[in-house]
Amino acid sequence: MLNNEENLLENKEENTVGSESNDIREAAEIESADFIEEKSSSVNESNIPQQEQTVPKKKKYSYKKSIAAGLAAVILGGASMGYFLGVGLNASRAFTNTVENIVNGDFSFDNVSEDNEAQPVADSDLAPSGSSIAKTVKSVENSIVNINIKAQVTGGWFGQTYESEGSGSGIIYKVDGDKVYVVTNNHVVEDATTVSVSVTGTEQISAKLVGKDATSDLAVIYVSKADLEKAGITDIKAATFGNSDNMQVGENVIAIGNALGRGKTATLGIISAANKTINIDGKKLTMLQTDAAINPGNSGGALVNTNGEVIGINTAKYSSYDNSVEGAGYAIPVSTATDVINSLMESGTVDKPYLGISGYTIDDNFQRIYGISQKGVFIGKIESGSAAEKAGLQVSDIITEIDGTAVTTVEELSSKISAHKSGDEITLTVLRNIDQKMTVKATLLNLNEQF
């Protein structure tokens, strides 16, 4: 049975089945941890029309339809568990396509690395006193901000457009003149029509986007220091960023953020794993795992050590429908985030060349089930407006070469594309309808130049 659709929309390797909001999803849908407030004048449709059934006179075999049906069966057989994004909003292109399911994409726990060995830590790090925890929270809380967004969302039975509000968290990264830079998750601000920041929870200061990187799920926004001061916020200081590489399993950490969109909270836990590889919405991320509660609205907030240093950016938690999984929250390590953040502040983007397809490796199982002898990458989906669409690639095309070099897996194709820069032209050898060989030239786009 097939078990891997691999998404090339953001040029990374993965082994999870990706999907758009209109695709067939797992039988047990992955719920969003988003805290959402929706404003709509639309009427809920309670009567779902019955599907009309017809009996065709003759059923013609189509390998394309057979493959589609087989892949659908794989998706329907998925596990009823997944990752909750710890964000209280639905303002992202990937998270706003439907009212019922904000998270766009099927998550897989299969890719979580289990090879992290627990390391001993000093006894003094294991049991901080209540007073020391309170002092730590006090020292950093004004460097953590609430983020509120508004977005125009299209969804529902009749495709109505309505305004949705949501909330997330951010960390003051740098104060430079009148600009106060705040780092958060990309999925917090992506596709937001307006973004505002609050330090105390009462004022709302308009923010502007500096840049974002979908692959690392990081973004930088800024607010005016003068605007903050006019609102009575005079104690404006950047958070102190520590070294996440020095964190050991068992060390205490505190998660601080705008939980449930109702203001800042702090939760205490430990580092459960220092290098956990997880797959969220088709992105492979190496994270810090913690049992400190990561709640809706916490996305973009801080995971701090007992010295009050930010060592992680809270992003997601793992959950199952039967609540059998507890205490699995994830934060992006600051040691890997810092370079991306600095690049966003300098240029407003991180160059991420991408083709814009979702594909399947044609492995032995694929060949046996669908009777295809050719090795390569089967195109299952093409993103609208992408380099692939502009080049004329079609769903069911099979990519066999890139720039004259054979590719037999999605990983190989992704690696070759990643070696380029956006704006580069690549040459693809493609099989169409199995036996029609052609050459297609595509100019790679920058995934992060979409805002």
Query: Looking at the annotation, which residues are catalytic?
Result: 187, 217, 299
* Cα–Cα distance for residue pair 49/160, rounded to 1 Å: 19
In 10 A of CB 131, how many CB atoms? 8
Sign of the alpha-carbon torsion through 230, 89, 82, 352: negative
3-class SS at 408?
Answer: coil
Residue that has been written with the tokens 């209109």 in this structure: 22
Residue 231 burial (CB < 10 Å; 0-12/13-18/19+)?
middle
- Dihedral in degrees, nearest 10, Cα atoms 183, 189, 190, 195: -130
What tokens does 30 get?
């992955």
Q: What secondary structure does DSSP assign to 143-185, as a single string?
A: GEEEEEEEEEEEETTTTEEEEEEEEEEEEEEEEETTEEEEEE-
- Tell me if 204 sits within 8 A of 196, measured CB to CB: yes
* Cα–Cα distance for residue pair 222/177, rounded to 1 Å: 12
Looking from the CA of 209 toward its CB, the CA atoms found within 13 Å total 23
End-to-end C-alpha distance for the chain, whole angstroms: 39
Closest C-alpha to 410, from 106, 10, 113, 1: 10
Residue 36 burial (CB < 10 Å; 0-12/13-18/19+)?
buried
* Cα–Cα distance for residue pair 167/93, rounded to 1 Å: 16
